[in-house]
Chains A and B, each alone.
Chain A
Amino acid sequence: MKNLKLKAARASRDLSQEELASRVGVSRQTISAIEKGDYNPTIKLCIAICRELGKTLDELFWEETEKKDLSD
């Protein structure tokens, strides 16, 4: 599943994939793969991305559908 929230958060900070990748210490392709939903990052990388974008883990990586399932 595509991570549109990450893409939106990155765009709102006016950062390119390359810039975000450089700041969190990964390759551009890794950021691209996370946004496309092709790769599930480790918690360590998730935290680094959240810190860089000023967001929480919930805001960037929590699936809304799962939230509903848990509340049911």
Chain B
Amino acid sequence: MDWGLWIMFAILVVMVVCVVAVSNRRERTAAQNGVFDERQMKIRGDAFKWSFIVMVVYYMAYAILISFTQDGLGAPELMIFLGLELGLVFCSVYCILRDAFLAINRSFGFIVTMDLCCIAAQLVGYFRERAQGALLIENGKLTATGLPLSLAISFGVILIALLVRRHYQKKEEREEA
């Protein structure tokens, strides 16, 4: 048999072993880390339900607006994406304010760092587009250039909610101690 085939087979076996080993390890640690407790699961369920409703209402309202005015407020891709962002922000903030955003023993600092990186990346993208001459508003309508800016604002709102909740958590912990 060709050596190449054996090497491919060996790589496949190693990959399968690695996946099984990692998944076993995750199962062992999942009892303590990275899982949500029953209260958090209930809140997250509510958050998904309400964020879905918020998105549906947004899309319906926008569809009605377009059908009556025959004109949107901005580029279609931006307006569609705004609905998704609205749902994401609503769901995240709902969970954050009810202490159901972070799983048990999950690091607060890691999430904040990720959020900051995301905001920074979106802002860099936005300002680069603007530097290349892209307009945010053209003929009285928002353009797709606003997409990274809207994402930066969305993640900014999530960051503020995280920091506010963290402040109150620290206060609670001090009072409890």
Partners in one complex: yes
Residues in chain A within 8 A of chain B (CB atoms): 16-18, 21-22, 25-30, 32-33, 39, 41-42, 44-45
In chain B, residues 1-59, which have Cβ atoms closer than 8 Å to a Cβ of chain A?
A: 31-32, 37-40
A sample of 18 inter-chain contacts (CB < 8 A) reads A16-B176, A16-B177, A17-B176, A18-B173, A25-B32, A25-B37, A25-B104, A26-B104, A27-B99, A27-B104, A29-B39, A29-B169, A30-B37, A30-B38, A30-B39, A30-B40, A33-B39, A39-B39
Interface of A is mostly: helix
Contact status A45-B172, CB under 8 Å: no
Residues in chain B within 8 A of chain A (CB atoms): 31-32, 37-40, 99, 102, 104-105, 169, 172-173, 176-177
**Known contacts A17-B176, A25-B104, A32-B172, A42 near B37 by CB under 8 Å:** no
**Chain A min CB distance to B141 (Å):** 44
Residues of A within 8 A of B177 (CB): 16
Which 5 A-B residue pairs are closest in the complex by CB-CB distance?
Answer: A29-B99, A26-B37, A30-B39, A39-B39, A27-B104
**Chain B min CB distance to A36 (Å):** 10
Residues of B within 8 A of A33 (CB): 39, 99
Scoring A26, A33, A44 by chain B CB atoms within 10 A of each residue's CB, the highest score goes to A26
Q: Count CB-based A-B contacts (< 8 Å).
A: 41
Query: Known contacts A25-B37, A32-B172, A45-B37; can you find 15 more A-B pairs with CB under 8 A?
Result: A16-B177, A21-B104, A25-B31, A26-B39, A26-B104, A27-B37, A27-B39, A27-B99, A27-B104, A30-B39, A30-B99, A33-B39, A41-B39, A42-B38, A45-B38
